[in-house]
Structure 1
């Protein structure tokens, strides 16, 4: 393993939001170099750089110096790619970017709302911008996130704490009846409903991107869907990793997008707990 991102999904393991049999090695967003292969493996060979794709993090376990994975969990990428950057394609960037491009299929000139402006939320913003959205409204209670969100394409940012009325009503007023596309990238039940309710009631599309708390169910008024809204979700931004990851790396190498705004800290492996502290504090 050369580089591994720290994803909120990994934090859910340590917090218990993912009920996971122990012992376990977390980590699933990584890039490295093949050292050796087992019998029958044909997709890669020793010395070729690789990216560990999204899926069950237990099948990758990248918070380690070495890991053993099935061939299906390995994708060969451009050998010139900087592994400390393209490791983000293993989950975070692809999940957010694809949610806009592949899942919601954001249309040119549309209005979007993104709930949660962490690394994945910023990637959603990047996807909305790439798709040609005219207005991208970032929603987050952490105002320290706003500058970077605007840097990658958000046209404005708001905090639910600044309004007396519910945030979905604020967004409906701002957009003249509801946004065309909304994305929940927080992982909380109340924001999932708020994101849905903020959509235009006849044709709005709302995508669940954030991982919800384990063992909790959502109660929702079906009238929110009866008018014609679409409520959906997807793992890994709707991409098929074996086909899409090498292409996403190629696009990165062609400077179609930059990951610099998504990378706040680069730490040695020994400081992994410090990385998790930064994640939880909202400073990465």
Structure 2
């Protein structure tokens, strides 16, 4: 597939700093992309050239016990059970000057072209803008899912979202659509507050504006709160 757009996730940065285990180097990083199918293997029947798709850093085989359960979504083919540095047939499809280059999470979206297993790609609507759809590869479902699935924000709840990057903003969307009545957005960069309000935050605070721990500030603002930290819900 040809990669058209790719986001940069903090997990990619973690790899560069040696914070992620079971990574083979040299490696092509990137797992938040969107692109177009160029060609496919003989056994692939679900896709055709020109289809818009999203590579999945957590595959969905649709057959294992996790995929079939309504309470889980971490496919047993994921990197948690086996490193995804090579394709399922244990070969790599990347090379540079005759030397092996490894895959990352089966996606490697920091490449003009990439090869992924059929279980690690999802077809999307042809009308979807790829520069925005790439966020569905990681950031949006991580934040939105934290509010809607993992923590199940209840209608009328008060929520605090720490960090207003792509994951934090997606968390705010999830909180808002779940019916939260108060969404407090927290970040040390006040320039992010305007966008946070557009996405659904009801108020924003900067820890640098206070001479006390921010958690005490929040507790003084509200008696009941669900804490959602963007840094804690990242997929890594």
When normalised by structure 2's length, the TM-score is 0.75
CA distance in 1, matches of 2:132, 2:160: 27
The structural deviation recorded for 1:106 is 0.9
8 A contact 2:57–2:106 mirrored in 1 = no
Between stretches 104-113 and 164-173, larger displacement belongs to: 164-173
Aligned to 2:17: 15
Deviations 1:74-124 (A, max 9, x none): 111111211111111111111111111111111111100001111110110
RMSD (Å), alpha carbons: 1.7
Residues 193-230 of structure 1 deviation map (CA, whole Å, 9 limit, x = unaligned): xxxxxxxxxxxxxxx314xxxxxxxxxxxxxxxxxxxx
Residue of structure 2 equivalent to 1:139: 186
| Counterpart-to-counterpart distance in 1, 2:193 and 2:26 | 38
In the aligned structure 1, how far is the partner of 2:26 from the partner of 2:181?
A: 47
1:58 offset after TM fit, Å? Answer: 2.5
Residue 123 (1) aligns with residue 125 (2): no
User: Superposition pairs for residues 57-206 of structure 1, below 5 Å?
Assistant: 57-176=104-223, 178-179=224-225, 181-186=226-231
Give the structure 2 partner of residue 278 of structure 1.
Answer: none
* Structure 1 position 12, deviation (Å): 1.7
Indicate which of 4, 7, 32 corresponds to 1:5.
7
Distance 2:9 2:29 in 1: 10
Q: For each residue in 1:217-260, what CA deviation from the matched residue of structure 2 results, as whole angstroms up to 9, or x when unmatched?
A: xxxxxxxxxxxxxxxxxx49xxxxxxxxxxxxxxxxxxxxxxxx
- 4+ runs of 1 displaced by more than 3 Å? none
- Separation in structure 1 between the aligned mates of residue 130 and residue 209 of structure 2, nearest angstrom: 40
Of 38, 45, 66, which residue of structure 2 is paired with 1:35? 38
Which residue number in structure 2 is paired with residue 243 of structure 1? Answer: none
Segments of structure 2 that go 5 or more residues without pairing to the other structure are: 59-78, 80-103
Provide the rounded CA distance (Å) in 1 between the counterparts of 2:206 and 2:186: 6
Q: Secondary structure at the match of 1:58?
A: coil
CA contact (8 A) 2:148 2:175 kept: yes
Distance 1:148 1:5 in 2: 18
TM-score by length of structure 1 reads 0.63
Q: CA deviation at 1:18?
A: 2.3
